[in-house]
Amino acid sequence: MSVHTTNAYGRISVTEEAIAQVAGFTALESYGVVDLVPKRLSDSIAELFRRRPVSRGVRVMTSGDRIYIDLFIILKYGITIDAVAEALKKSIKYDVEKFTGMVVDTINVNVLGIKI
């Protein structure tokens, strides 16, 4: 599925996978984030046989021109989880809205582990 918008030059479509890649790159560049983790077992098994995609710990859902993002991450030990999660939400919201020109409605950050 993809998100669509129209401007003076025509119609623009952005796929959920492209949005997930932008969110994944932004998350991996954020301070304190060690890795993105696939939530489903089928993603983990598929990952063994191919290259690790940047969007593996990102789930994107769209409804109309609204974007909903779920992140599954591993953080570095010794940092404040709340501060990292809030900074991550702000940076992903900014980057995805700048990339797509559409509104990011919700970003859920799920911390699945801590790495020492």
Domain-by-domain residue ranges, the chain?
A: 2-115
Strands 66-76 and 103-115: parallel
Whether the predicted pLDDT of 116 surpasses 90 = no
Q: What is the pTM of this model?
A: 0.83
Strand pairing class (2-7; 58-63): unpaired
Beta-carbon neighbour count of residue 38 at 10 Å? 20
For residues 99 and 39, the model is more confident at: 99
**What mean pLDDT value characterizes the chain?**
86
Which of 3.40.640.10, 1.20.1560.10, 3.30.70.1350, 2.40.370.10 would CATH assign to domain 2-115?
Answer: 3.30.70.1350
Based on the number of CB atoms within 10 Å of its own CB, is 59 exposed (0-12), middle (13-18) or buried (19 or more)?
Answer: buried
What are 6-40's pLDDT values in tens digits? 778 888 888 888 999 999 999 999 999 999 988 66
